[in-house]
Structure 1
Amino acid sequence: MTGTSPFRRCPASAGAAALPVPERARRYTLHSPFPLLPMSARLPYTLLWILALPFVLLRLLWRARRQPDYLRHWGERFGSYAGKPPEKLIWVHAVSVGETRAAEPLLRALLAQWPDHGVLLTQMTPTGRETAEALFGKEPRVLLAYLPYDLGWLSARFLRHFRPRFGVIMETELWPNLLATCRRQGVPVALVNARLSERSARRYARLPALSELTLGALSAVAAQTEDDARRLNALGAPQPRVTGSIKFDITPPAAQLELARQFRSGFDQRPVLLAASTRDGEEALLLEAFKQHANTDVLLALVPRHPQRFDEVARLVQSRGLKLQRRSDNAPVAADTRVWLGDSMGEMFAYYAAADVALIGGSWLPFGGQNPIEACAVGTPVLLGPHTYNFLQVAEQAIAAGAAQRLPDAEGGVKEALALLGDPDRRARMAQAGAQFSLAHRGATARTVAVLKTMPAQVEQA
């Protein structure tokens, strides 16, 4: 509960066409002066939150055993904030690492579009906040804070303290009580870079009243794809516009590319297979296939998605009898090292750029996959597993462009990766296709800002 809303996790078109508003959602759009959302649909949800809160706090303490940062800024999770914020403030919510990285081009565009405003960037996880500090820590107009838990009085404290002119929520991180409070206090909110898989849409449709009221409380919706827009619209979102994925607009930072060159210099010209953003259970499958099929000169760079699993994955590698080194050791990779563990945060571009082939995690078991855009942007051939429902359209587009391939299982992925390592001409073709694919889908940030400028009066006054 600490980082996932009930409407989360529920690519890219060049247009920003609107879909018609369903009749059932029309009465909840912001053409009226911010009416209250009916409490009856939210009451069971609110009661569940109240009952669950002690367990949420215990879970925080439990997670703090591995990540002590969960104990920092504790009061912010209950709407208690220090200092006086700027008078003119735009609020952007990006729940964790992926959303925070995706928000970077949009946040910089907001700073440029509204130069007399600050931006409040909120998260729910320490790793998301750490990523925000790395990206924006030197930007004086950007404030960082945790969003409070989704209880109405906590949301009200948050809004009273920061008084944002409008809010922007990344992807599909929706909280019913928060949005109800925003509407009551006259704060327009847009959902941008929005995505909703068919699987998630079916799950949310089981709570039609709550889904309708929550999505209907939005002022604007900018969806990644036509399919995302259609699914959001069917659940009650007002007039979704298709703007594409903002992640295509992320430019690989020069510092990350330089770090990749440093990584490569420590690999002593060995071929490098990257397993990126892997999830629980996938590492065992990939390691078994790698141990069985790979020559000893091939180096496996293994980067788990969640930092709290770094030590667990290290033990898993050693239990397979494979010699391990860690990125955090900051040492050249020895000739007999088989696995290099990427136990760092905020360096994914460097990992991708340093690799010859990338296996995208989350797709080898039914987790829905991770976005392949970063790998394509630096020209690294991409191999995907069968489970990509969270990024289905961008995955299919990358495959159609020749930048990616889909394999049926982890063993097939490793075997195909090893074949690619032995075929430099095919790797070069995939790398070029990936770079062209990324460039062809840029522009979502500008289209998203255009959608934000169409929101109600507070945005126009901002």
Structure 2
Amino acid sequence: MIWRWLYSGLTRLVLPVAFGYFAWRGRREPAYRDHWRERLGFLDPVDGPALWVHAASVGEVILVTPLIEALIECYPDHRMVLTTFTPTGRAEAARRLGGRVALCYLPLDTPGATRRFLRRIGPAAGILAETELWPNLVSAAGRAGVPLVLVNASLSARSARRYRRWPVSRAATFMLTRFARIAAADRVHAERFIAAGAPARVVEVTGNLKYDRRQRPHAEAEARELRQTWQAASRPVWLAASTHDSEEAQLLETFALLRARHPKALAVMAPRHPQRFEAVAGLLARAGWQYARRSRRDPVDDRTDIVLVDTIGELEMLYALADVAFVGGSLVPGVGGHNVIEPAAVGCVFTTGPHVAEWRDAMAPMIEAGGAAIARDFCDVADITAGWLEDSDARQAARQRLAAAVTIHRGALGRTVQLLKEVISTSC
């Protein structure tokens, strides 16, 4: 196929650009300068049978952790290999899974790098989280006889439209027809994959793995202890989670409105991307708020207005700590919102902004339970949040209903493991 030749040639040409990008990111995030050989598929060979799981970054690592733990139990003789694409994802994987898995970066999508990678691992199956579609990787897996499975398979409406347009449609069909199974997060995503070129016979709705996420042990105890450390046991705590550029300024306006009704309120702001931590710190300083940085363990007392969470991997604990939360990526168009199941699972009532197209269906039972709301703008976020803070009994009842609404949707993990067993049994 001509498009494949052109794509493969282009990937070789952009290699210097990719490594230049890693070097540039490495100025602020030194981990980007490490393990460059892995980006080209050079890694230590794996002895014996192996299973390979790919999770691009932190969110995907958290998603697949229970799945990997289940596979370790089912296949104790197999070496688990987990690839990520970002250093933060790799660090989170090391923190959660430690020495139970072999960690490395997914190679850049050149023909040579992908061939080397698969040859040195020799996995019985490749398990990719959500929407990781790389033409050369898929092609190399097919030639090596490695069955690929897409788990928690999700395809946004925008991506689905793009995959139906030429010439992207040719690449999408090429890749999707080479997956052994596609385990879709729900019926809508299954239909999008089929419309994009996946054979209906390989697509199965197994459910959303986000509902089956296990709460980290001691998370609630850690949250209670941290509130005491912050001297916030009696202060209302509002968490603004996974925020994006241009959202933080609006959310500071939200907090100012909240403070007018709840003068003792403490805000906790957790930007989505680590590279923006310094920019958000600068914004807080210019706005005149008294803030503490989580990474420095700054003291938090009655004079502290905002805690800036410039760390990774603490969001679950922070949802357990907060009285009310806001889920970011939703006040500005183009992002589509972020994981609303995470706060709901720990019973944290929350709002989002209006731009949550991909999460509206998931939020419907949460809204019905009275524990979630889609706000029109930052003023509406303040009004809804203040209402919850003013009625602790109603908020506590909503927390219980919210957690129950999540519980009834669980079961995706077991169905996904069963599907993977079927695929692995045919390749062994």
Q: TM over 0.5: same fold? A: yes
**Deviation for aligned residue 1:372:** 1.2
Q: Which residue of 1 aligns with 2:315?
A: 348
**Deviation for aligned residue 1:355:** 0.1
Report if aligned partners of 2:257, 2:379 keep a CA contact under 8 Å in 1: no
> Which of these residues, 28, 35, 43, is aligned with residue 81 of structure 1?
43
Q: Distance in 2 between matches of 1:288 and 1:304?
A: 16
Question: Secondary structure, in 3 states, of the residue corresponding to 1:405?
Answer: strand
CA-based RMSD: 1.5
Q: Distance in 1 between matches of 2:337 and 2:60?
A: 15
Report if aligned partners of 2:325, 2:350 keep a CA contact under 8 Å in 1: yes
Q: Which residue of 2 aligns with 1:290?
A: 255
Task: Decide whether aligned partners of structure 1 residues 392 and 240 sit closer, same or farther in structure 2, where only a CA change above 3 A counts.
Answer: farther
- Matched AA of 2:405: F
Q: Which residue of 2 aligns with 1:160?
A: 119
1:360 and 2:360 are equivalent in the alignment: no
Report if aligned partners of 2:147, 2:427 keep a CA contact under 8 Å in 1: no
**Deviation for aligned residue 1:310:** 1.1
Q: Distance in 1 between matches of 2:112 and 2:365?
A: 44
- Matched AA of 1:460: T
Report if aligned partners of 1:275, 1:301 keep a CA contact under 8 Å in 2: yes
- Matched AA of 2:291: L
- Matched AA of 2:53: V
**Deviation for aligned residue 1:96:** 0.3
1:129 and 2:90 are equivalent in the alignment: yes
1:459 and 2:425 are equivalent in the alignment: yes
Aligned-pair identity in percent equals 42
Q: Mean Cα displacement is larger for which, 251-260 or 206-215? A: 251-260
**Deviation for aligned residue 1:419:** 2.0
**Deviation for aligned residue 1:224:** 0.5
Structure (1/2) with the larger helix percentage: 2
User: Mapping of 1:302-317 within 5 angstroms?
Assistant: 302-317=269-284
Q: Distance in 1 between matches of 2:155 and 2:124?
A: 27
**Deviation for aligned residue 1:461:** 5.1
> Which of these residues, 390, 399, 412, is aligned with residue 422 of structure 1?
390
* CA displacement, residues 296-347 of structure 1 (integer Å, 9 cap, x when unaligned): 3111100001111111111111111111111123244121211111111111
Q: Which residue of 2 aligns with 1:318?
A: 285
Question: Secondary structure, in 3 states, of the residue corresponding to 1:275?
Answer: strand
Q: Which residue of 1 aligns with 2:137?
A: 178
Q: Distance in 1 between matches of 2:135 and 2:378?
A: 38
- Matched AA of 1:157: R
Q: Which residue of 2 aligns with 1:252?
A: 215
Question: Secondary structure, in 3 states, of the residue corresponding to 1:317?
Answer: helix
Report if aligned partners of 1:211, 1:235 keep a CA contact under 8 Å in 2: yes
Q: Distance in 2 between matches of 1:200 and 1:89?
A: 32
Q: Distance in 2 between matches of 1:59 and 1:290?
A: 36
> Which of these residues, 22, 39, 51, is aligned with residue 13 of structure 2?
51
Task: Decide whether aligned partners of structure 1 residues 393 and 251 sit closer, same or farther in structure 2, where only a CA change above 3 A counts.
Answer: same
> Which of these residues, 70, 73, 92, is aligned with residue 32 of structure 2?
70
Structure 2 gaps, min length 5: none
* CA displacement, residues 73-114 of structure 1 (integer Å, 9 cap, x when unaligned): 1110011113x4231100000000000000011111111121
Question: Secondary structure, in 3 states, of the residue corresponding to 2:28?
Answer: coil
- Matched AA of 1:380: C
* CA displacement, residues 274-309 of structure 1 (integer Å, 9 cap, x when unaligned): 000111111111012212442431111000011111
- Matched AA of 1:177: N
Q: Distance in 2 between matches of 1:397 and 1:242?
A: 19
Question: Secondary structure, in 3 states, of the residue corresponding to 2:422?
Answer: coil
Question: Secondary structure, in 3 states, of the residue corresponding to 2:218?
Answer: helix
- Matched AA of 1:67: E
- Matched AA of 2:309: G
**Deviation for aligned residue 1:190:** 0.3
User: Mapping of 1:215-294 within 5 angstroms?
Assistant: 215-238=176-199, 239-265=202-228, 266=230, 267-294=232-259
**Deviation for aligned residue 1:143:** 0.7
Report if aligned partners of 1:324, 1:339 keep a CA contact under 8 Å in 2: yes
Q: Distance in 2 between matches of 1:331 and 1:191?
A: 42
Q: Mean Cα displacement is larger for which, 266-275 or 177-186? A: 266-275
Report if aligned partners of 1:196, 1:390 keep a CA contact under 8 Å in 2: no
**Deviation for aligned residue 1:389:** 2.6
Q: Distance in 2 between matches of 1:261 and 1:310?
A: 25
1:410 and 2:378 are equivalent in the alignment: yes
Q: Distance in 2 between matches of 1:335 and 1:198?
A: 45
Report if aligned partners of 1:379, 1:432 keep a CA contact under 8 Å in 2: yes
Question: Secondary structure, in 3 states, of the residue corresponding to 1:251?
Answer: coil
Task: Decide whether aligned partners of structure 1 residues 173 and 390 sit closer, same or farther in structure 2, where only a CA change above 3 A counts.
Answer: farther
Q: Distance in 2 between matches of 1:396 and 1:172?
A: 24
Report if aligned partners of 2:237, 2:322 keep a CA contact under 8 Å in 1: yes
Q: Which residue of 2 aligns with 1:394?
A: 362
Aligned residues between the structures: 419
* CA displacement, residues 159-191 of structure 1 (integer Å, 9 cap, x when unaligned): 011110100000011111100110011000000
Q: Which residue of 2 aligns with 1:31?
A: none
Report if aligned partners of 1:256, 1:347 keep a CA contact under 8 Å in 2: no
Report if aligned partners of 2:61, 2:89 keep a CA contact under 8 Å in 1: yes
Q: Distance in 2 between matches of 1:387 and 1:241?
A: 28
Question: Secondary structure, in 3 states, of the residue corresponding to 2:14?
Answer: helix
**Deviation for aligned residue 1:417:** 1.0
1:120 and 2:81 are equivalent in the alignment: yes
Question: Secondary structure, in 3 states, of the residue corresponding to 1:137?
Answer: helix
1:336 and 2:298 are equivalent in the alignment: no
**Deviation for aligned residue 1:400:** 3.2
Q: Distance in 2 between matches of 1:108 and 1:98?
A: 16
Q: Distance in 1 between matches of 2:237 and 2:122?
A: 49
Report if aligned partners of 1:286, 1:411 keep a CA contact under 8 Å in 2: no
Higher relative contact order (CA 8 A, sep 6+): 1
Q: Distance in 1 between matches of 2:244 and 2:289?
A: 19
Q: Which residue of 2 aligns with 1:9?
A: none
- Matched AA of 1:362: G
